[in-house]
Chain A
Amino acid sequence: MTFAVGLNHFLLLGAFLFVCGAVCMATKRNAIGILMGVELVLNAATINFVAYAHYNPIFQVEGQVFALFVIVLAAAEAAIALAIVLNFYNNHTTVDVDTAEELKG
């Protein structure tokens, strides 16, 4: 591994963002904080796609197309998740996920 910026640098950055998102999902009790962790994880995946699109010429189109799909699906996911969170807030007057325990056996 050299110091000139290459594919590995982008993949390491993607791994870092993924870990940040995973830890964020695990540690936040606010449902919207968990949503932010999901956004970080999806961004890590997008960075990997675009980095491969740049460094591997035969995936030039595929990497960018899948990155666009990830962005659009993340927008859809955020809209649905916020609608669910608002419904949850209407029913429980809180967004603390620890209070969502009706389905606990």
Chain B
Amino acid sequence: MDTLNDILFYVLMATTCICALAVVLTQNIVRAAAWLLFALAGVSGLFFLLGAEFVGSTQLLVYVGGTLVLVVFGVMLTAQGPFVNMRIGAAEWAIALAVGLVLYGVLSTSLIISNPPQSDVNRHVDATMPDSSVLGSSLLGQGQASPTGFLTGMPPAMRRERKPMAYLLPFEIVSVHLLVVLIGAAYLARAKRRRAV
């Protein structure tokens, strides 16, 4: 990666981290939704930086365009009275922050100690096809375009080449699942009709 990519990464990382922290720290739920919007947009920028254009644009469309609008509607439909206090005490804040710091310490130290293998230098992806068309042909059931290689992290005796795989069936399952879930959500949230006695 060259210098421009590094600078872009640090800018996007700072945006995402600050906005995620602000989601946690703010007490106003509408402001939390606004901070979440910027955090999700920063994450989608990171996806573009990683060369996953399709995932990045899906993140923008589904999360920033869909889910967040849903959340904002939820905030508006469940408006609170002006004197409802939903703050938590200082002791609870202290416990939550301590647990969060310990959790982050454990995660980051274990990550640095384990040092996951990076193989960016010997990327042997077929350069004639961009990432998104490899992804698209895999979702259409043609796995031939996906790169093959040897799985890392195995003893050498068990090493065998990974077969190319296609993801047509999971794609169909997840789309039908989404349909079922949305019908269920509409059924759950419908207006209750008074039963005629």
Residues of A participating in the B interface, judged by any CB pair closer than 8 Å: 1, 4-13, 15-24, 26-27, 29-30, 32-33, 35-37, 39-40, 43, 46-47, 50-51, 53-58, 60-65, 67-69, 71-76, 78-80, 82-87, 89-90, 94-96
List, in ascending order, chain B residues with CB within 8 A of A32's CB. 29, 71, 74-75, 78
- Verify B70–A82 contact, CB threshold 8 A: yes
The 5 closest A-B pairs by CB, nearest first: A58-B149, A83-B188, A83-B189, A76-B181, A15-B107
Interface of B is mostly: helix
Residues of chain B at the chain A interface (Cβ within 8 Å): 1, 5-6, 9-10, 13, 16-17, 20-21, 23-24, 29, 32-33, 36, 39-40, 43, 46-47, 50-52, 54-55, 58-59, 62-63, 66-67, 70-71, 73-75, 77-78, 80, 84, 86-88, 92-93, 96-97, 99-100, 103-104, 107-108, 111-112, 115-120, 122-125, 131, 134-135, 138-139, 143, 146-152, 162, 165, 167, 170-171, 174-175, 177-178, 181-182, 184-186, 188-189, 192
For the complex formed, measure the closest distance between the CB of A94 and the CB atoms of chain B, giving whole angstroms: 7
A interface: dominant SS:
helix
A-B contact count (CB 8 A): 239
Q: Are A75 and B192 in contact (CB under 8 A)?
A: no
Known: A60-B131, A87-B188. A16 touches B74 (CB 8 A): no
B135 proximity list for chain A (CB < 8 A):
61, 64-65
**Nearest Cβ in chain A — how far from B142, in angstroms?**
11
Q: Return 23 A-B CB contacts under 8 Å, by A number.
A: A7-B116, A8-B116, A17-B16, A19-B100, A26-B99, A32-B29, A33-B32, A35-B71, A36-B36, A43-B40, A61-B134, A61-B138, A61-B147, A65-B170, A69-B170, A72-B175, A72-B178, A73-B174, A80-B181, A80-B184, A83-B184, A89-B77, A96-B86
